[in-house]
Amino acid sequence: MSGGPIQRRETVVPAPLGRAKGRAERMGEQTREFLAFALAGERFALPLASVREILKLSPITEVPRAPRDVLGILSVRGRITTVIDLRRRLRLPHGEVTRGARVLLVDAGVEVLGLLVDEVFQVYRLSPDEIELAAVVAGDLSDYVYGIGRPGAVERGAAADEIMILLDPVPLLRR
Amino acid sequence: MTEDEDGVRAEFIAEAQEIIELLSRDLLVLDHGQKEGHPDPDLINSVFRGVHTLKGIAGMFGFYDLGEVAHGLEDLLDQLRLGRVELSQEVLDVLFEGVEVLQRLLASAPDAPRPDLGAFHRRIQSQLGGPAPPPPDLAAFGLDTGVLSVLTEYEEHRLRTNIDQGVPLYRLRVRYALSSIDTDLEDLKSRAKPIAEIITYLPSMDGGDDDSIELEVLFASRATVRELRNALALPDEAELEAVAKVAPSATIPPPARAPTQQPASPPTRFPPPPSGLAPPAPGHDGGADALSLRAVAKTVRVDIGKLDHLMNVVGELGIVKSSVGKVLDRLRGVPELRALAAELHRIHRGFERHLDDLQDGILDVRMVPLGQTFDRLARAVRQVAREHGKEVRLAVSGADTEVDKLIVEELTDPLLHLIRNAIDHGIETPDERERLGKSRVGTLALNAYQKGNHVVIEIEDDGAGMDEERIVSSAVARGAITAEGGAELARSDKLALIFLAGVSTAEHVSDLSGRGVGMDVVKTHIARLGGVVDVHSQPAVGTKFTITLPITLAIISALIVRAAGRTYCIPLTVVQEALLLDPREVRTVEGREVITLRGATLPICRIARLFDLETPAEARVKEYVVVTSLGQRRVGIVVEGLEGQEDIIIKPLGPSLRSVRGFAGATDLGDQRVVLVLDAPSLLEEVFAATAATEARGARGEASA
């Protein structure tokens, strides 16, 4: 379903109150829907509720003096939106922008930011046993990693190519 | 608190704020009048009505403390307007304090602890006057009882005062159309204001029909019938006559008694009104309330966010317009569609015109006169002057100069700061001034005027002035400049040192020179609004701050330029001119590039270098210098191309880019082209700071060599 339109979500992610509770809400403890995308050959996913919109790549205006991981700005229906180079933010190797590249508009609490990704896959609905929480996997992961998603883990064991890193948008986009 | 209650509360606060601001304005005029010896009674009455209304709505919305204060003030004002209490500076002090208290109450959180207002109430009580007035003795004045019986207490007081002062009374009979009576009456009142005092007006019995109504107006004036006819622009059929000779000594029974003999005067013109047209009961100025309601109905309070939204829509329409323009160009290229293209062209032009109107209209709505801010400042002047035992006369000009609402709001704090400094440190004590041969009363002038696309505000005092050598030595002490560098600075540059953060945050400067605390804050504030502040000062003569601001922040004309292979906008408000750069003209002074423009040195800066950008090699064929200026500073920005001029809507960059300096925002030029708008004040600042740093380094280098 790469490139196909995905329904636009107007849901506003509530600002995290207590960290634990906020995170649980953000990560969709009830719905557990994640939008998976590719970046530098790896598979990541963000909670669907935090993704406002998926945009095709339009010219991005570079902003001199901006932080290194800021690609620039673009106008989303008249609103100036900052676009982040997610590769830089995640310290992944630099790569060419491909035809499948998309900008995810993600609500990061204080601001809606654009995230440049290589390709958008699909929405996964994950049950609790398809998610390994970061705290369980390893103690020293970055705070923006929520856990590992293993769709289909229950029925047929983990298919390695469908493993995805679940990201928590708020710590990810906090500066 | 629910959202609904929040809304209601906000509505009340907005309305109360307006009333309080008006009160404050009227009080200032009264204060002035009192000092000159003739306070305007109308104004006292207006203040009374304002407080009365405030009391009413405060009760309605559950602001009981505020209502109570308003009630206390109302009592005092009632006695003032009825002449039972004399308007003195002490009374004015209480009234001004009342305004402050009201404002404080309004600003406090709904759940804040209730303030102790006992002391203030006691101060009101101490001013309240004593006994009831002597019984009225008006009846024999050629006035029939019909009139006298319906006068309100206040109107009666005014009538008596005028008689006591020997002001002749007049009676006017005039007919107005029912449909326009409100505006006609307002018109009459405003025309009468300079030469006459309207005491009362009533509908007359004998002259009403379906479409019009005849009014009997009683007023006092020293003008002649002819002068009055002219000044009031009365229609020919209006009847105007003097009531009777004023005889202040006459002893006349009060109106409550039976009517006495009438002088040979015109037939009864003031019959008792029919019950359907009952006039307001005495003591309750119903007519005035009705009027103020009408005034309110003509204005609408609008959230500025909604205006911003409309502005955004206008911007989007602008993009639609340019897209249509492009379609038009394509149609023109097709011979068989010429006629269609011509028609579309006409429509397009019309659309453009209306869009411009719409944009102007929205901008106009955002504009407010500086007067509101000036009133607030005038109150501060009075207060600060009293606190410091200074005598200060405030001279205001240009209060009707209009500025964008957002700018006005951000302007109050810096202006307050400058004014406080001027009174606290600038203007000397009365004794000191006398010793210096100045008048005991210092003058603080607040001037505003429009200058092209800018508004200039000047704050000028005739106080002690600033000693630039002391500023320099304290700046040197702070390490902001070297002693040698300081010595070489021009006088105006030395004074400008008070705006340097490193210097001005130093208490030394304020101790030594009497200025400087927070001056960098003032400057930052003004810069954030896209403006600059300059200072001129002469010891013993005075100090003048000049603030130059753009008129609006919402829409600006901008020059579109190409630089370092990219497109940028420069606000046209700061552009003086653009000219072709002759590379042979460029000189290097202290490592900075400069050119000579009409005999003056102009520092130039290159966007690529400023922003650390790689310039595509082919770009540098021709170069232009865009001469930008703000206040007295000028910098030439070197660009590769001038693409034209456009009206743009500046939109803010997101929070994650807030720390990036040098850009005022971005704008949508259509075609999905987002272009950055250069923040000229901050860039000018940067270039000058760099120059100053180079000079300081240079000076240090020479010193150590």
**Matching CATH number, B145-273+281-288, of 3.30.70.260, 3.40.640.10, 3.50.50.60, 3.40.50.720:** 3.30.70.260
> Which of B420, B632, B440, B459 has the alpha carbon at shortest distance from B542?
B459
Q: What is the pLDDT of residue B144?
A: 58
Q: For residue A115, is pLDDT > 70?
A: yes
Predicted confidence band at A2 (pLDDT cuts at 50, 70, 90)? very low
> Which of B292, B274, B287 has the alpha carbon at shortest distance from B200?
B287
DSSP B347: H
CB contact under 8 A, A111 and B655: yes
Of the two residues B143 and B179, the one the predictor is more confident about is B179
Helices (H) and strands (E) in chain B, counts: 23, 22
Is the Cβ of A79 closer than 8 Å to some Cβ of chain B?
Answer: yes
Name, in order, each residue with C-beta under 8 angstroms of B126's C-beta and a sequence gap of 6 or more: none
CB contact under 8 A, A65 and B661: yes
CA–CA separation, B503 vs B423, rounded Å? Answer: 22
Helix (H, G, I), strand (E, B) or coil at B393: strand
Q: What is the pLDDT of residue A73?
A: 94
pLDDT in tens, B246-268: 444 444 444 443 444 444 444 44
Boundaries of every domain in chain A: 19-173
- Residue B315 distance to chain A (closest CA, Å): 8
Residue of B nearest to A80 (CA): B653
Q: For residue B626, is pLDDT > 90?
A: yes
Predicted confidence band at B460 (pLDDT cuts at 50, 70, 90)? very high
Is the Cβ of B568 closer than 8 Å to some Cβ of chain A?
Answer: no
Helix (H, G, I), strand (E, B) or coil at A8: coil
Q: What is the pLDDT of residue B546?
A: 92
Is the Cβ of A172 closer than 8 Å to some Cβ of chain B?
Answer: no
Architecture (CATH level 2) of domain B3-127: Up-down Bundle (1.20)
Q: What is the pLDDT of residue A6?
A: 41
Q: What is the pLDDT of residue B267?
A: 44
Quickly name the fold that domain A19-173 has.
OB fold (Dihydrolipoamide Acetyltransferase, E2P) (2.40.50)
Q: What is the pLDDT of residue B194?
A: 81
Pick from A61, A75, A111: which is nearest to B656 by CB? A111
Pick from B613, B661, B674: which is nearest to A80 by CB? B674
Q: What is the pLDDT of residue B289?
A: 41
**B654 vs A contacts (CB less than 8 Å):** 73, 80-82, 111, 113
In the stretch 286-315 of chain B, residues with CB closer than 8 A to chain A read 312, 315
Predicted confidence band at B174 (pLDDT cuts at 50, 70, 90)? confident
- Taking residues A166-171, report their average pLDDT: 89
Q: What is the pLDDT of residue B344?
A: 92
Of the two residues B419 and A32, the one the predictor is more confident about is B419
CATH class of B555-696: mainly beta
Is the Cβ of A110 closer than 8 Å to some Cβ of chain B?
Answer: yes
Is the Cβ of A169 closer than 8 Å to some Cβ of chain B?
Answer: no
pLDDT in tens, B415-438: 988 888 888 888 889 999 999 999
Predicted confidence band at A38 (pLDDT cuts at 50, 70, 90)? very high
Pick from A157-171, B298-312, B330-344 the range whose average pLDDT is largest: B330-344
- Taking residues B685-689, report their average pLDDT: 78
Q: What is the pLDDT of residue B461?
A: 92
Q: What is the pLDDT of residue B620?
A: 60
Residue of A nearest to B310 (CA): A78
Residue of A nearest to B311 (CA): A78
Angle, helices B371-387/B89-107, rounded to nearest 10 degrees: 120
Q: What is the pLDDT of residue B160?
A: 78
Is the Cβ of B660 closer than 8 Å to some Cβ of chain A?
Answer: yes
Is the Cβ of B651 closer than 8 Å to some Cβ of chain A?
Answer: yes
CB contact under 8 A, A63 and B316: no
**B305 vs A contacts (CB less than 8 Å):** none
On whether the CB atoms of residues B12 and B54 are closer than 8 A, the answer is no
Name, in order, each residue with C-beta under 8 angstroms of B211's C-beta and a sequence gap of 6 or more: B177, B178, B179
Q: Most A CBs within 10 Å: which of B656, B668, B682, B686, as the mutation test of the A interface?
A: B656
Q: What is the pLDDT of residue B608?
A: 85
Q: Which helix (H) or strand (E) holds B295?
A: helix B286-297
Q: What is the pLDDT of residue A34?
A: 92
CA–CA separation, B183 vs B189, rounded Å? Answer: 10
**B660 vs A contacts (CB less than 8 Å):** 63, 65-66
CB contact under 8 A, B654 and A80: yes
| Tokens 């709001």 belong to residue | B409
Residue of A nearest to B661 (CA): A65
- Of B2-11, B52-61, B672-681, B692-701, give the lowest mean pLDDT range: B692-701
CB contact under 8 A, B656 and A63: no
pTM given for the model: 0.50
Q: What is the pLDDT of residue B256?
A: 42
Q: What is the pLDDT of residue B164?
A: 76
- Residue B688 distance to chain A (closest CA, Å): 19
CB contact under 8 A, A82 and B566: no
CB contact under 8 A, A78 and B312: yes
In the stretch 611-640 of chain B, residues with CB closer than 8 A to chain A read 611-613
Pick from A66, A77, A78: which is nearest to B657 by CB? A66
**A73 vs B contacts (CB less than 8 Å):** 653-654, 657, 666, 674, 676
Is the Cβ of B283 closer than 8 Å to some Cβ of chain A?
Answer: no
Backbone angles phi, psi at B635, to 5 degrees: -140, 140
- Of B11-20, B217-226, B258-267, give the lowest mean pLDDT range: B258-267
CB contact under 8 A, B655 and A110: yes
Helix (H, G, I), strand (E, B) or coil at A77: coil
pLDDT in tens, A48-62: 989 999 998 888 999
Per the prediction, chain B carries an average pLDDT of 77
Is the Cβ of A74 closer than 8 Å to some Cβ of chain B?
Answer: yes
Architecture (CATH level 2) of domain B370-466+514-550: 2-Layer Sandwich (3.30)
Q: What is the pLDDT of residue A9?
A: 38
Strand partners, B217: B172, B201
Is the Cβ of B661 closer than 8 Å to some Cβ of chain A?
Answer: yes
**A62 vs B contacts (CB less than 8 Å):** 566
Q: What is the pLDDT of residue B502?
A: 53
Q: pLDDT exceeding 70 applies to what percent of chain B?
A: 80
Per the prediction, chain A carries an average pLDDT of 78
Pick from B613, B652, B655: which is nearest to A64 by CB? B613
Q: What is the pLDDT of residue B529?
A: 80
Of the two residues B275 and B571, the one the predictor is more confident about is B571
CA–CA separation, A37 vs A2, rounded Å? Answer: 9
Q: For residue B697, is pLDDT > 60?
A: no
Q: Which helix (H) or strand (E) holds A161?
A: none
Q: For residue B108, is pLDDT > 90?
A: no
One-letter amino acid at B83 equals: G
- Of A13-22, B323-332, B646-655, give the lowest mean pLDDT range: A13-22
pLDDT in tens, B540-595: 889 999 998 887 766 778 899 998 888 999 988 788 889 998 888 888 887 788 99
Of the two residues B547 and A31, the one the predictor is more confident about is B547
Q: For residue A70, is pLDDT > 90?
A: yes
